[in-house]
């Protein structure tokens, strides 16, 4: 599955689930029009409090940075309300995102994952679980998705697949660079 929208043309976020691992990788390029503003932004991060076992949810975003951070904060609140229930927390966030006047105007997409589930969230109320555990969003999302799907059949692990697929996307998409942030969870 790849979700792409002309509004979200400044980034590439990819998730790969293989074996016991799930990885979300994001490039670091931030553009304003045709100008690179920053090459090392962090668009992927752990979500929630963490605790002694570490973080249980990771996420990445494409779209307006302030909007994405607002959504991350809202999702973290939903995860506190519904601990260990990523799907329910995301559905509740999607309901708010569609019905709240302020949230409805936010321009971002997210990929989130825990040890068992990977989801793509959009402002139109979609909470989508990708087939084969691979999804890409943003301008280079389609390129990274295609590369990752091809690499799934190799012996490479989730992180190696994500890194190679992101490198391929960076060669094709001018809005994607090779400065990656990678977060990984194991079942």
Active-site residue set: 11
Q: Are strands 21-26 and 12-18 parallel, antiparallel or unpaired?
A: antiparallel
The neighbour count for residue 138, using CB atoms within 10 Å, is 32
Residues forming a β-bridge with 13: 26, 137
Please tell me the distance from the alpha carbon of residue 144 to that of residue 2, in angstroms, as a whole number: 9
User: Quick check: helix, strand or coil at residue 88?
Assistant: helix
156 sits in the region (left: phi over 0; alpha: psi -120 to 50; else beta) called: beta
């Amino acid at each position: 599955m790849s979700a792409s929208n002309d509004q979200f043309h400044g980034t590439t976020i990819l998730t790969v689930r293989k074996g016991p691992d799930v990885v979300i990788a994001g490039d670091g390029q931030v553009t304003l029009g045709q100008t690179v503003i920053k090459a090392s932004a962090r668009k992927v991060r752990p979500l929630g409090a963490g605790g002694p076992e570490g973080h249980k949810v990771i996420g990445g975003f494409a779209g307006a940075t302030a909007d994405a951070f607002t959504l991350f904060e809202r999702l973290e609140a939903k995860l506190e309300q519904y601990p260990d229930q990523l799907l329910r927390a995301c559905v509740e966030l999607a309901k708010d995102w569609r019905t709240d006047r302020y949230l409805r105007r936010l321009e971002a997409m997210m990929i989130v994952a825990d040890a068992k589930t990977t989801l793509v969230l959009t402002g139109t109320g979609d909470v989508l679980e990708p087939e084969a555990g691979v999804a890409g969003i943003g301008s280079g999302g389609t390129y990274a998705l295609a590369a990752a799907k091809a690499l799934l059949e190799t012996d490479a692990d989730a992180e190696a697949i994500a890194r190679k697929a992101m490198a391929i996307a960076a060669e094709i998409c001018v809005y994607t660079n090779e400065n990656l942030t990678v977060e990984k969870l194991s079942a």
